[in-house]
Amino acid sequence: MLGLPSTTEVGRRIPKEAFYGRLKVSAALRQSFIDDVERFTVANSIKTSTTGIPDGERVHEVLVVEVALKARRVPEEVLALVARENPHKLLFACTFNDEVRLAVMLKRLVVGPWRPFDRLTLDMNASDIDAVWDSLASQVVYNDAGGGPETIEERFEADAKIKALYEELARVETRGRKERQVARKNALFDKAKELKRQIAKIEEGR
């Protein structure tokens, strides 16, 4: 699957009841397991013993989980629950007919676009299992192989912080343009300047 080494193949089916049967879930979420998911299958186990790649400090195993869907819709709450309840790093491959959408859980679930299943391959060249996870997740989230100084979690968190700061900056600058009272206008100008400083600090440190 996804061009991964044959030595990583598992092919172990997991009953849906293994998730919603033993966990406290809402009636709606339980129904989503039943209505939206055909089956879960652990397709690949990426670790030192199956790849020869050195173990990581943060990550010791990445599981590729095929989620066969009943319709062309990804049940994101279902995947988020499964990811939160699993100690391993999970790469979801949500399949429907001849298409697939990849998903990973960082601060939140990130789902990639639909792609032709038979033409999608992932790059797994990395120095250790930490880097394998960073690379695989980067390919889902950013459509690149990562490889920078940041982990995928650090990169994702920094991007979220920058996005929030830019949104706040836009609000402050809008208020500043409308403000007529000089002291308040100056205070908003100072706040905008500080927000720009924070943004620059994050971007310079990357």
- pTM score: 0.86
pLDDT digits (tens, 9 = 90+) for 34-76: 999 999 999 999 999 999 999 999 999 999 999 999 999 999 9
pLDDT digits (tens, 9 = 90+) for 144-186: 988 888 999 999 999 999 999 999 999 999 999 999 999 999 9
pLDDT digits (tens, 9 = 90+) for 72-90: 999 999 999 999 988 999 9
Per-residue HEC secondary structure of the chain comes to CCCCCHHHEEEEEECCHHHHCCCCCCHHHHHHHHHHEEEEEEEEEECHHHHCCCCCCCCCCEEEEEEEECCCCCCHHHHHHHHHCCCCEEEEEEEECCEEEEEEECCCEEECCCEEHHHCCCCCCCCCHHHHHHHHHHHHHCCCCCCCCCCHHHHHHHHHHHHHHHHHHHHHHHHHHHCCCHHHHHHHHHHHHHHHHHHHHHHHCC
Q: How much of the chain exceeds pLDDT 70, in percent?
A: 100
